[in-house]
Amino acid sequence: MMCILSVYSTQLSSDLTLRIDLDSAVPAYRQIVDGLRILLVSGKLAAGSDLPSVRRLAVDLGVHFNTVAEAYRMLNDEGWLDLRHGRGATVIKRDAPSAAPEHVEEFRARLRALIAEALSKGVSTTKLKTELLKLIDEVTT
């Protein structure tokens, strides 16, 4: 299934919904991290916002506690979340670090692979450019 992850959020920033697809080849914890990161980068989850507890989110998504705990730990390591024992997580103010050259190279490699996949499936370069710009807009505003 092509659908790797979709994060749905309505126009109101207070009504945020995270979606994961258990049929996807991407592990659930990875989808949770990716989905939350999109909301964090876009500012829809602002500094000071409380996230649901590990237990609450695990029940809502119907996944094991460890899956959610692992996702929260990864975002904690990235500096997005402050984890409080037994009380869930809070979004903290985070200054974007300057990208290390090896990270830039890693993203370039991933993007190259994605672009090649899209072109091989018949997506035109014009369409690809438009979609990319639209997604950058969506994530950053």
Q: Which stretch binds other proteins (CB under 8 A): 7-15, 77-85, 100-108, 133-141?
A: 7-15
By CB under 8 A, the residues from 54 to 83 that bind other proteins are 55-65
Q: Which is nearer to other proteins, 8 or 107 (CB)?
A: 8
The structure tokens 């500096």 sit at 79
- Cβ density class 49-68: b for 16+ within 10 Å, e for less: bebebbeebbeebebeeebb
Q: Which of 27, 34, 49, 115 binds other proteins (CB under 8 A)?
A: 49
If one asks whether residue 14 binds other proteins (CB under 8 A), the answer comes out as yes
* CB atoms closer than 10 angstroms to residue 138: 11
How is the beta sheet containing 81-84 ordered, strand by strand? 50-51, 88-91, 81-84
Q: In this complex, which beta carbon is closest to other proteins, that of residue 62 or of residue 97?
A: 62
8 A C-beta contact, residue 96 and residue 89: no
Residues that contact other proteins, how many (by CB under 8 A): 31
Smaller CB distance to other proteins: residue 42 or 115?
42
Should residue 8 be labelled a site residue for other proteins when binding is judged by CB under 8 A? yes
Closest approach of Cβ 26 to other proteins, in Å?
Answer: 13
Does residue 19 contact residue 8 with C-beta atoms inside 8 Å? yes
Residues 1 and 23 sit within 8 Å (Cβ to Cβ): yes
Contact set with other proteins (CB under 8 A): 1, 3, 6, 8, 14-23, 39, 45, 49-52, 55-65
